[in-house]
Structure 1
Amino acid sequence: MSGGNAGGDARDARGNARGETVPYVVAWSGERCVSPDVVAGPYGLAYVGEVPQDRDRHGVLWSRTEQAPGRGRPEFGRIHPARQRRAMLRLLCQICARPASRTADGVLWVIEDDRGAWDGWPERAVTTHPPLCLPCARQSVNRCPHLLKEGWVAVRVRHSAVEGVYGRLWHSRGGRLYRGGKEVVLHGRPEAPWVVAGQLTRTLHGCTPAALPLP
């Protein structure tokens, strides 16, 4: 399945490895990236043999990755493009793929602790991490090596806007393409036609600090 397809069955996409829960958005070693070569088109990047499902409604090109959760071993450092995108679009828990926790204060997110990054943080924070349900949030903050290392903050978010992607930028110079780094690119920016997206982003608004009470 192409990474541009935001579908996928949550029941098929969760798994366990050696008794350990594998988050819905994590890619498995048996899920190969099968993106074709990129070429420079008149308006930006294009795939050789591109199909309509390779682009989202904003016209952004997406990485193609096989959809075979449970095949091989989980690669916790690699995110599956289609499943991450589905979780972000539908506000599903990034671990179990059920609806994320929602209260009058908003949807539950757990993000890196960047307090002091700017005045009013985490208002307007841009994240690639989908939200969480309450049980999975408790599990995540106690087990996720990244959160344990970087620190975390739980927030309720009244409104979040899909405003961009995170992916590989390419540069065209003298008729040749040069591979750049991975960056967050907002929709409508001049760079947007030159990115191969791997994750969707949301910008967080109306943030309220949240507790993660014990069950």
Structure 2
Amino acid sequence: MNASQPPRQPAPTVPYIATWSAEERSAGPVVLRADGRGIAYRDEVPHDRDAEGVLWMRSGLARGRGKPSFGAVHPARQRRAMRLLLCQVCAEPADRDAEGVLWLLGDDRDDWPGWPEEMGATHPPICRPCALVSLRLCPYLRRGHAVYRVASPEVAGAHGMLFAPSPDPASPRPVPLGPALLPYDGPLTPWLLAAQLSVRLHHCTPTTL
């Protein structure tokens, strides 16, 4: 945060992207698209798909009602935070300086050479005060974390449940194959029921809090 920005309020204890118990999430039922080349909702409406044409998991909007589920990410709020580069905890603009936007990552540097460059991240960026609170409260981050500035984050794809056509001709309903992270331009993306937007991290610079 630079000197011209107003001071932040204390970080909330429940992240903006967390789902609350009053917010029902729905993964279906999905059906074959009319052209047979992907999935759809039988009662689909325009806002069920994003600008790239990917179908999204439906979820209620009742933030703050009931109990928070820290392990369940709210699809609509996660997508909004990613596209607008908002802090995943407080929903204010994420911390940014000359080197880029602040990202707090679990330390998975052994996954491939060059990590996290070109990584597809599904956790939105963060502001510095919320990052410090997250390090105190999040068991996953306490096991290992890394802090980076990302100069060129790029919306690249989505993570969700991948479906396939039913092998039984008498049952046209698509069958779930499992979770997948797919690029927007991938051949299987029409078969994805998205739950989280993926941003590819370009030009990453390690930093500290």
Separation of aligned partners in 2, 1:88 and 1:192: 19
Q: Which residue of 1 aligns with 2:162?
A: 169
Where do residues 185-196 of structure 1 align in structure 2 (5 Å cutoff)?
185-196=182-193
Cα offset, 1:95, TM superposition: 0.2
Separation of aligned partners in 2, 1:152 and 1:57: 33
In the alignment, residue 182 of structure 1 is paired with which amino acid? Answer: P
1:152 partnered with 2:149:
no
Separation of aligned partners in 2, 1:81 and 1:163: 16
Q: Which residue of 2 aligns with 1:131?
A: 125
Over the aligned positions, Cα root-mean-square deviation in angstroms equals: 1.5
After superposition, the C-alpha distances for 1:115-163 in whole angstroms (9 at most, x for unaligned) are 23322221111110000001001111121112123x1100000001100
- Superposition misfits of 4+ residues, deviation over 3 angstroms: 173-176
1:31 partnered with 2:23:
yes
Percent sequence identity over matched residues?
A: 48
Separation of aligned partners in 1, 2:27 and 2:70: 21
Separation of aligned partners in 2, 1:116 and 1:145: 19
| 8 Å Cα contact 1:85/1:200 also seen in 2 | yes
Separation of aligned partners in 2, 1:57 and 1:184: 18
| 8 Å Cα contact 2:14/2:68 also seen in 1 | yes
Query: What is the count of residue pairs matched by the alignment?
Result: 193
Gaps of 5+ in 2: 1-10
Separation of aligned partners in 1, 2:161 and 2:120: 17
SS at 1:173 equivalent: coil
| 8 Å Cα contact 2:79/2:197 also seen in 1 | yes
- One of 179, 196, 203 as aligned partner of 1:199: 196
SS at 2:125 equivalent: coil
Where do residues 59-78 of structure 1 align in structure 2 (5 Å cutoff)?
59-78=53-72
Gaps of 5+ in 1: 1-15
SS at 1:161 equivalent: strand
1:111 partnered with 2:105:
yes
Scaled by the length of structure 2, the TM-score of the pair is: 0.88
Scaled by the length of structure 1, the TM-score of the pair is: 0.86
